[in-house]
Structure 1
């Protein structure tokens, strides 16, 4: 995932109109207390269109903007995490993912040139599906093919297919306070790309509605080469 959203589908149980309809209850009419639902990986990977924030520049410059949107990718409207240059409206990348019945499907991304023109489109094959049933400490290895299309510049029109394999390890939930906001159940995921002898593992922190709120990339020697984190929230829908 070259750095690298989905609107999480909230599955709700039907509420019974009467205790008898649920198969019984106390004679005095008092209902049993409900058990809090434990957070899952799915809680971290939802996208809330309209969320906006900034993230620190890995090179120490002006913070870069991030905006969560719903927009077409490959003919279908999907959730997207859009990165903006120096918190302007100039796009640098847009990454697309959504929840499917078997997990979270990562669809691909678009890179933009310095003028904000779409330069390269990468479409992931259906092997890039992260199972939502992963528990802390568990890993999933995903094999997929990237179809890389050059959209502009001297290589416009060229296309190539690249086979990839990545292992995503769900390391667990983590409480983070970033930009003055408490993220109580961020999901920390470690990503390793097979056959990549230059780059080391990456660590991504996902938060419900916000996408990736922190990341850290390392080289093959384990040294941190780039990291960033949310530093200010500029817009949040009321439902969050």
Structure 2
């Protein structure tokens, strides 16, 4: 990310103006009625990792069935309380119903993409498990295309319902995240520019293959592909329709 330095730019502009005035003075002056120079064209800002992970509450879309079925699953971006604080999250629903199946919370912070945790729901839409990630589950903003990082963190899982309600368990985890590319993709009739293609693999086991995810600004995950250790695609889901975009 390139910092904006308005005072430095203004100083440079004044320096150029003074230089230009000196040249005109040496040439005997200038034409007071001369047309002002045309405005400089806007230069698009470089895409950033943080852009891809920003979520816009109210955005909604559907994803194809990862098992190849015909029922698309609903997805909604929310801002709601998780672990005592309002967080942006990505809610997945059971197929085309309004019954929640899972929600994952994350946000771009000053030093990285912070993954906060998730809630899993039973078939009735009742939250049954809460998972809170430790502070180490932080994807650094300094990660560049082509680079990898290993995130070592701890999950604390709490049972919310049933006979084991209140029981907690902890688990140490490690994932390798690789920032593969900025991609422009067209899905569901919409073109998404500069999506972040991330490859994630369990750094503690070689049994499973990597998962590739495409993150789009405002939307979250719009394409996900799971492969086995042999590189074969075992599950894949893509955005196939945008239903709400604030």
Correspondence for 2:30: none
Corresponding residue SS for 2:91: strand
Residue 72 (structure 1) aligned with residue 81 (structure 2): yes
Correspondence for 2:160: 151
| Structure 2 contact 183–197 (Cα < 8 Å) conserved | yes
| Structure 1 contact 104–131 (Cα < 8 Å) conserved | yes
CA deviation string 1:45-66 (max 9, x = no partner): 1100110000001121410000
Structure possessing the higher radius of gyration over alpha carbons: 2
Correspondence for 2:229: 220
| Structure 1 contact 66–87 (Cα < 8 Å) conserved | no
RMSD over aligned Cα, in angstroms? 2.3
CA deviation string 1:9-58 (max 9, x = no partner): x9984756x94586533347757655432112112111001100000011
The alpha-carbon distance between structure 1 residues 235 and 11, as it changes in their structure 2 partners (threshold 3 A), is farther
Question: What is the aligned length?
Answer: 227
Q: Give the TM-score, by structure 1 length.
A: 0.87
Correspondence for 2:28: none
Q: Give the TM-score, by structure 2 length.
A: 0.85
The counterpart of 1:85, out of the listed 94, 112, 117, is: 94
| Structure 2 contact 175–204 (Cα < 8 Å) conserved | no
The counterpart of 1:25, out of the listed 3, 11, 16, is: 16
Correspondence for 2:53: 45
The structure whose residues are more often helix, as a share, is 2
The unaligned stretches of length 5 or more in structure 2 are: 22-35
